[in-house]
């Protein structure tokens, strides 16, 4: 994926329009659109300005979209993009769910133990 595509996806992920980006960068909308289309080369200074607007660093931009994520963008530049997580995120979420299930089971065991204790204490009270 080219840097211009990553800039566009990053901008869409932050729900900013090309017009908003152009305004924040003090440039024309057409000029900014040319950057996203790859018609204009981005120098490092301009890239730093873009990253400042997106509140990101160069590493985030360079690795953006390289982790198996799928980006589906429809319509024009004013639409939001849908992001579906890749395998790395799914594995992490599955581990979190398994951990949650363990915690719930432990809580259920404690609840059952407390219920048994309450039953025993009720029996002792009724026997007196």
Looking at the structure, do residues 41 and 52 belong to the same domain, yes or no? yes
Degrees (nearest 5) of the Cα angle 41, 47, 51? 145
Looking at the structure, do residues 26 and 44 belong to the same domain, yes or no? yes
Q: Are residues 22 and 35 in contact, defined by beta-carbon separation less than 8 angstroms?
A: no
Looking at the structure, do residues 55 and 100 belong to the same domain, yes or no? no
DSSP 3-state of 9:
helix
Reported pTM: 0.51
Query: Own/partner pairs for 70-74, CB < 8 Å, 24+ apart?
Result: 71/9, 71/12, 73/9, 73/12
Looking at the structure, do residues 53 and 16 belong to the same domain, yes or no? yes
Give residue 28's domain range. Answer: 3-84
Looking at the structure, do residues 17 and 68 belong to the same domain, yes or no? yes
User: Which of 44, 7, 50 lies closest to 26, judged by CA?
Assistant: 50
Task: Give 38's contacts (C-beta < 8 A, 6+ positions apart).
Answer: 2, 4, 5
Looking at the structure, do residues 37 and 14 belong to the same domain, yes or no? yes
Task: Please report the pLDDT score of residue 81 as a whole number.
Answer: 46
Give the percent of the chain with pLDDT over 90: 49
Looking at the structure, do residues 70 and 93 belong to the same domain, yes or no? no
Q: What's the pLDDT band for 70 if we cut at 50, 70, 90?
A: very low
pLDDT at 1 over 80: no
Strands (E), 6-96: 70-72, 82-84
Task: Please report the pLDDT score of residue 60 as a whole number.
Answer: 81
User: Which of 116, 82, 75, 117 lies closest to 9, judged by CA?
Assistant: 82
Looking at the structure, do residues 71 and 108 belong to the same domain, yes or no? no
Residue where a domain terminates, one of 67, 84, 101: 84
- Weakest-pLDDT range from 29-43, 52-66, 69-83, 101-115: 69-83
Q: What's the pLDDT band for 72 if we cut at 50, 70, 90?
A: very low
Looking at the structure, do residues 67 and 116 belong to the same domain, yes or no? no
**Count of domains in the chain?**
2
CATH number of 65's domain: 1.10.260.40
Q: List, for residues 78-120, the tens digit of each pLDDT value.
A: 545 444 545 566 677 778 888 888 999 999 999 999 999 999 9
Looking at the structure, do residues 37 and 93 belong to the same domain, yes or no? no
Q: In the predicted model, what is the mean pLDDT of the chain?
A: 83
Looking at the structure, do residues 106 and 61 belong to the same domain, yes or no? no
Looking at the structure, do residues 65 and 94 belong to the same domain, yes or no? no
């Amino acid at each position: 994926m080219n840097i211009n595509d990553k800039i566009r996806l990053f901008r869409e992920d932050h729900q900013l329009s090309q017009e908003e980006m152009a305004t924040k960068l003090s440039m024309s909308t057409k000029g900014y659109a040319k950057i996203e289309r790859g018609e204009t080369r981005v120098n490092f200074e301009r890239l730093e300005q873009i990253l400042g607007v997106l509140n990101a660093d160069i590493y985030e931009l360079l690795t953006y979209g390289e982790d198996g994520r799928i980006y589906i963008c429809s319509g024009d530049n004013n639409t939001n993009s849908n992001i579906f997580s890749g395998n790395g995120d799914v594995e992490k979420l599955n581990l979190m769910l398994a951990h949650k299930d363990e915690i719930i089971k432990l809580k259920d065991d404690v609840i059952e133990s407390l219920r048994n204790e309450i039953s025993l204490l009720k029996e002792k009270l009724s026997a007196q």
